[in-house]
Amino acid sequence: MQYFPVFLDMASADVLIVGGGVVAERKWRLLAKTPARIRIVAPELTPSLRQAAESGAIDWAPRGFEAADVTGQRLVIAATSDTQVNHAVADAARGAAIPVNVVDDRAACTAITPAIVERGELIVAISSQGAMPVLARRVRERIEQALPQRLGAFIATAGRYRDRVRAQLAPARVRGFWERLVDGLWREGFAESDAVLAQRIDSALDQAASSEAMQPGRVTLVGGGPGDPGLLTLRALRRLQDADVVLFDRLVNQALVDLARRDAERIHVGKRRDRHTVPQSEINALMIEHARAGKQVVRLKGGDPFIFGRGGEEIADVAAAGLQVEVVPGITAAAGCAAYAGIPLTHRDHAQSCMLVTGHRKANGALDLPWTAMAAPQQTLVVYMGLATLGELCQQLIAHGLAADHPCAMVESGTLQSQRVVTGTLATLEAAVADTGLTGPALLIVGTVVRLRQELAWFDEQSATR
């Protein structure tokens, strides 16, 4: 992100526009919506700008640009048709550490003007960082269509209630009150009159205040899927954006954590293979503690919480504490990684069943698994966390009846751009994985369906063209 988005306070601000043509007029019309004092330096003006100068709406200096013109300005805009003049303006502004926007010259800018959607006090700014302004305008059009026209009226009405809401409700309940109110009114398009909006807010606040005793929060186990943020469910996204606290593991893609609302507390509990930074009992205690304080807690887990994710253990402790719980399923690694590797888990010519197991050793070091069932023919076997025990897994499957040349594959970082897939047989895969240098997280897939990857590796082809 080269450009940091920020809104400038234009009250009592001085803004300089160099240029008096159509482009300068367009910039003036946008700035005229603010209380800024606008000065234009240009030998000539468009009729509209001249009229504004005559009415006193702008201060016009009818001459060419001089470097001293930038002194004391909050913002400078170069909008002439002369590249040399525009660059002179940019140089002077940069020398005075003043943000400068040079129209249609991204390299000369230290500030860019975004596409804007306005709904009263709500301002949405969209920018492609100067790379593709047409796209930014198209996004603005979509947002214009999505935002109710009376949203500004609601903001103005609701703004008068902010102090009253804070006075009548406990701090932990304020955000939830506004969220429920907005969600209900949004469905109706905020179509009521200002008087009706006020009545609705009064009623909602009276109802919330009458049950002001601290209500416990909620703990939601959210399945983040195998890694690609695009595979997150709509409900999972909603819970992340509602959360006050997010607890997440090392294996969760940081891009998923970043989807939580900006002011949510993020707690890294660091679980990884053979090294649990925070014990499970402490993780459960953290969730319970924050929920009892009235907060919305999300326990963000890779894959699906109920498939090798200890979700059952976590939700049992939370429920036993008398707290509200919810589970949002996620795409488990077996389904996601296999799909992105081009390996169907079932196929009528290859596998009529699929078995999921975990390759973790027990505390005593034993790899105690249902080997006979795992070595059944015409099924696909998926082993989670099987990289560290790959050699023993392959040996045991051969010992229990599968052929040494039975196909298998190891998928590392499945669904991400860094995904790597190594294929082989039970006899050759361990050496192939070692040669490739896979470090995990990785998933082992065993079955004749692996042969279909040669035809179905769609994600490899897409990645190669990116």
Say if residue 214's pLDDT is above 60: no
Query: Which of 20-34, 48-62, 172-186 shows the lowest mean pLDDT across its residues?
Result: 172-186
β-bridge mates for residue 326, sequence order: 220
10-35 mean pLDDT: 94
Binding residues: 22-23, 43-44, 226, 302-304, 307, 332-333, 385, 414
CA 93 – CA 100 distance, rounded (Å): 6
| Helix, coil or strand: residue 169 | coil
Confidence bin at 463 (pLDDT 50/70/90): low
Choose the CATH number for 218-331 among 3.40.50.670, 3.30.2020.30, 1.10.10.10, 3.40.1010.10.
3.40.1010.10
pLDDT the model gives residue 130: 77
Residue 61: strand pairing partners: 41
Which H or E run includes 429?
helix 429-436
Amino acid at 348: R
Question: pLDDT digits over 83-136, tens only?
Answer: 999 999 999 999 999 999 999 888 999 998 888 898 888 999 998 887 888 898
The single-letter code of the amino acid at 400 is H
Of 137-141, 284-288, 427-431, the range with the highest mean pLDDT is 427-431
> Sign of torsion, CA 186 187 193 195?
negative
Q: Give the pLDDT of residue 428.
A: 97
Residues tagged in the binding site annotation for NAD(+): 22-23, 43-44
Burial 49-83 (b: 16+ CB within 10 A, else e): beebbeeeebebbeeebeeebbeebbbbbbbbeee
Q: Is the pLDDT of residue 457 over 60?
A: yes
- CA distances 205 to 159, 201, 215, 338, 391, Å, are 14, 6, 15, 50, 63
DSSP 148: -
b/e code 251-276 from CB counts within 10 Å (16+ = b): bbbeebbebbeeebeebebebeeeee
Could you please state the CATH topology (level 3) that the domain comprising 14-113 is classified under: Rossmann fold (3.40.50)
Please tell me the distance from the alpha carbon of residue 183 to that of residue 187, in angstroms, as a whole number: 7
d(CA 59, CA 388): 73
Q: Which fold has domain 335-464?
A: 3.30.950
When mean pLDDT is compared across 25-29, 146-150, 274-278, the lowest value belongs to 274-278
Binding residue positions for S-adenosyl-L-methionine: 226, 302-304, 307, 332-333, 385, 414
Rounded (5°) CA angle 345-348-350: 65
* Residue environment code for 347-384, b if the CB has 16+ CB neighbours within 10 A, otherwise e: beebbeebbbbebbeeeeeeeebebeebbeeebbbbbb
Q: What does the block give as tokens for 318?
A: 């939370």
Residues identified as active-site: 249, 271
- Non-local (6+) Cβ contacts of 435 within 8 A are none
Cβ–Cβ < 8 Å for 85, 41: no
On the question of a cis peptide bond just before residue 441, with omega within 30 degrees of 0, the verdict is yes
pLDDT for the residue 68: 96
Beta strands (DSSP E) in 261-361 are: 265-268, 271-272, 275-276, 296-301, 324-328, 353-358
**Most confident listed range (36-50, 126-140, 172-186, 365-379):** 36-50
d(CA 177, CA 112): 36
Q: What is the mean pLDDT of the chain?
A: 90
Residue 298 CA to residue 224 CA, distance in Å, equals: 11
Categorize the per-residue pLDDT at 466 as very low, low, confident or very high, splitting at 50, 70 and 90: very low
- Which pLDDT score is estimated for 271? 56
3-state secondary structure of 298: strand
Residue 182 has pLDDT above 50, yes or no: yes
pTM passes above 0.85: no
Residue count of the chain: 466
The yes-or-no verdict on residue 210 having pLDDT over 60 is: yes
End-to-end CA distance of the chain: 20
Q: Domain-by-domain residue ranges, the chain?
A: 14-113, 151-210, 218-331, 335-464
Which tens digits make up the pLDDT trace of 222-268? 999 999 999 999 999 989 988 889 999 888 899 999 999 888 899 99
